[in-house]
Amino acid sequence: MKVRFGHREMEFPSEQLTELRDSNDVLHDAGALGARLDRDGFLFLRGLIDRDAVMEARATIMRHLAAQQALVPGQPVLEGVMPAGGKNVGMMGRKGIVNDPKVSRVLEAPELFELFGGLFGEPAKTFNYKWLRAVGNEEYTGAHYDIVYMGRGSDRLHTTWIPMGDMDVEQGTLAMCVGSHSAAEFEKLRRTYGRMDVDRDLVEGWFTKEPMEITEKFGGQWATTNFRMGDVMIFGMYEMHASTTNLTNRFRLSCDVRYQPAGDEADERWMGDQPKGHYAWGKEPGKMKTMEAARAEWGV
């Protein structure tokens, strides 16, 4: 399959972009899951969340997009077909569509609370803010660490990426850089870029728009897969990740949610009934430092 990663065309699977390994073989062993998470930096779990629940959430969100005139009239709503040029519909936050009971059933799934409770050895809690996205044609996510956006609370914070539909790699799937969370070659990157805070430092968030630059400069191995409803990807704040480019005419629907131990301090930007979110980053573009300038200062 021909796909695009950053601005580079490549085959999937290939040496550049390989197939993800799932961890379903140790799904019911919390100790083994934790060891796998520590070793790999992520857990890819097939079918963790009830597929019917995800299908209901997807239908709810697609009907919302249709009501916002973001879909092509006359096409099946569940297909999520985009009009020419696409249309951006904001769905992130604490309220709105993310608060619909059928959507919340997935984003705050009992399966996730049970899993994280086992991993943490104590009850888990999730950020109130949810990052629900409809990613359009030719859109993608550059390579980055999540720590730069939400690093003010627990050091046991984890991201859970939930595909809200069946999606092949050509529709823009999440890709992990295996080894980036712990390999010695990434140590300087973790000590510089990894200690940044986008609101405090007013620097662009993505480390690079070209994910292959990461493996060429630091090592590691990029991996992704064709995702199905019910699958989840769980990873820590220092796992470098990106996405392939959506080359289809259908929205890629997905959501990022964050889980951490309930007793740990949480980043205040993403908690409460009205999370304030990013209060400085991007608010005054003229004051923003480019990642290119920051990287020159860090020597990376």
Q: What is the pLDDT of residues 268-294, one digit of tens each?
A: 999 999 999 999 999 988 899 999 999
Identity of the amino acid at 44? F
pLDDT greater than 80 at residue 86? no
Share the mean pLDDT of the chain: 97
The answer to whether residues 262 and 76 touch, using CB atoms and an 8 Å cutoff, is: no
Q: What are phi and psi of 125, to 5 degrees?
A: -135, 160
Q: Where are the domains of the chain?
A: 21-298
pLDDT greater than 80 at residue 85? no
Segment 206-219, tens digit of pLDDT: 999 999 999 999 99
Q: Give the Å distances, CA to CA, from 3 to 30, 173, 223.
A: 35, 10, 13
Give residue 87's pLDDT. Answer: 72
Give residue 88's pLDDT. Answer: 82
Q: Give the long-range contacts of residues 65-71, CB within 8 A, separation 24 or more.
A: 65/89, 65/134, 65/251, 70/134, 70/251, 71/251
Pick the closest to residue 241 from 168, 151, 163, 146 (CA basis): 146
Question: Cβ contacts of residue 108 below 8 Å, gap of 6+?
Answer: 126, 257
Max Cα–Cα distance, the chain, nearest Å: 53
User: What mean pLDDT is predicted for residues 252-261?
Assistant: 98
Both tokens assigned to 280: 């400085």
Can you list the alpha helix ranges (DSSP code H) found in the chain?
A: 30-40, 51-67, 101-107, 110-120, 147-150, 187-191, 198-201, 212-217, 291-298
Grade residue 72 by pLDDT with cuts at 50, 70 and 90. Answer: very high
User: What mean pLDDT is predicted for residues 233-246?
Assistant: 98
pLDDT greater than 90 at residue 84? no
User: What mean pLDDT is predicted for residues 222-247?
Assistant: 98
What is the percent of the chain where pLDDT is above 90? 97
For the 21-298 domain, the top CATH level (class) is mainly beta
Q: Which residue has the tokens 């939930």?
A: 162
Q: CA-to-CA distance for 61 and 64, rounded, in angstroms?
A: 5
> Residues of 140-160 as b/e, b for ≥16 C-beta within 10 angstroms?
bbbbbbbbbbbbbbbebbbbb
Segment 91-114, tens digit of pLDDT: 999 999 999 999 999 999 999 999
Pick the closest to residue 138 from 171, 92, 90, 174 (CA basis): 171
